[in-house]
Structures are given as structure tokens and as C-alpha cells.
Amino acid sequence: MKRRKFFGKAATLLISSGLLAGMWKKARAKTPEGYDPSLHYYGMGIQIDKCIGCGSCVEACKNENSVPREPFYFRTWVERYTIGKDGGAVVQNIDARLAVSRDIISEKEIIRSFFVPKLCNQCDNPPCVQVCPVGATFMTEDGVILVDSERCIGCRYCIQACPYGARYIHPDTMTADKCTFCYHRLTREMLPACVEVCPTQARIFGDIRSKASPLARFKRMNKLHVLKPSLNTEPKVSYSELDGEVR
């Protein structure tokens, strides 16, 4: 056999075996009947001027997702911003169940005060995904950042990297945990639990790409802001009426 011919045959073998291997079915998640993740791309809108700080969303999130009840594990939480007459902003975490945070500042000293619901911003350019050393956190096709609790080694890099403080280590599994937009509800065509229970519709959930939806209307009718835009994380959670003091 001529050397040239031999190399030619070897190359064909390699290429064709590569092609064959590529034809293996691509791994795809089994989702409930009729749900196609490629048709969705989720986002949330938050209307600050509607939030009454009742904490229903926090409670619903803890119920729905079995988040530990202790007041330092949160997938979503509500912050109370109080801007005093001296100009300083005080930020407190609302916990309706513990009712700790009322009356810390006298009403006479307040210039303005409001609530800011917070959760994972499901960034389009997520720093937590970049830093994960084992590739345990990733973005799904429909734009939600998930954590693979079987791969996560609990190194806390992502907790350090998240500029919004949206992650925590779950005390039972010792792996990183965060808001998933209630992914198990989304695949059943239901709203996230926090959106479902919010009494004043301060949270608006929907498909970013849809043209007519509550979220599309929210985006059309309001001036939108995102948290920490200078970090270029491109959050999919947007806020209206966001005060300059909010960080």
C-alpha cells in the first residue's frame, strides 16, 4: 500500500467515525408533555412602587422550594430601604414571620422609604457560571440558571462571584442553592410561587420575547432599570421606579 493512500484511508476512517459519533442523539432533558424549552425565554419585572413588604413571596418561596426556615437562607427576599434626613440609606431584610424590622428608624427621621424585592437575576452573562470549577451551574435553553446539586462540590466560588448575593449553601446538601424561577412550575405552565401569591402584582413574570403579555406591557409602560448595570451581567430581572440608593 502506498503511504499516501494509507494516510488517505486513515483520514477517511477518522472523519467517518467522528461523524458517526456525532450522529448519536444529543442529550436532551425529559420535560413534561407539551413543554418545549426552546419556545421560552423567561424574565421578571418588579414594580417597586407596588411592593407592600408583606413577605408573602418569601414565605411562598420557602414553602414551594423547601428552603430552610431560618432567616438567613433565602432564594428571594425583600429589602426595606430607608433614606433618613441625614441622607444615609439603611437597608434591612424583611422577615414577616419574625417581624424584626419595624420601627428601627423613627418616622420623623425618614425622607423616603420603600421595599425592594430581590432574587436571582438570572443573568444572561452570569458570573456564577463562569467561576464554577466543576461546571455544575449552567443556563438552560429557556434562560434559567440552574445548579446541578450532584456535581456541585460546595466550594462557594459562585456565592463570592454573585454580585446580587442570590446564592447560599443549603445546610442539608451542602451545595449551592438559588432561585430557579420555580423551574418545576414553569415546565407545568404555572407561574413561580412568589408571583402567584404576590397580593399587589409587584412581580410580573413572563416570556421576554413575547409581544403581548403582562411582562411586555410592564416593559413598555415603565422606565426600566437593572441592578448593578455597570457589571454587564445583563440581568433578566428588571425593576421599575428603582431608587438611586438601591444597590
Q: How far apart are CA 21 and CA 15, in angstroms?
A: 10
Nearest-approach distance from CB 226 to another protein, in angstroms: 22
Phi and psi for 52 in degrees, rounded to 5?
A: -105, 5
Nearest-approach distance from CB 60 to another protein, in angstroms: 6
**Which span sits near another protein by CB under 8 A: 111-119, 159-167, 169-177, 228-236?**
111-119
Q: Which is nearer to another protein, 26 or 211 (CB)?
A: 26
Q: How far apart are CA 247 and CA 235, in angstroms?
A: 14
Nearest-approach distance from CB 225 to another protein, in angstroms: 18
- Tally of CA atoms within 13 A in the half-sphere of 131 that contains its CB: 14
Burial of 34 (0-12, 13-18, 19+ CB in 10 A): exposed
Burial of 105 (0-12, 13-18, 19+ CB in 10 A): middle
**Looking at 43, 45, 53, 235, which residue binds another protein (CB under 8 A)?**
53
**Which span sits near another protein by CB under 8 A: 38-46, 56-64, 68-76, 229-237?**
56-64
Interaction between residue 4 and another protein (CB under 8 A): no
- Binding residues for another protein restricted to 174-233, rule: CB under 8 A: 180, 183-185, 187-188, 190-191, 193, 196-201
Nearest-approach distance from CB 205 to another protein, in angstroms: 12
- Binding residues for another protein restricted to 125-154, rule: CB under 8 A: 135-136, 138, 140, 146-151
What Å distances lie between residue 166 and 25, 30, 105, 160, CA to CA? 35, 27, 26, 10
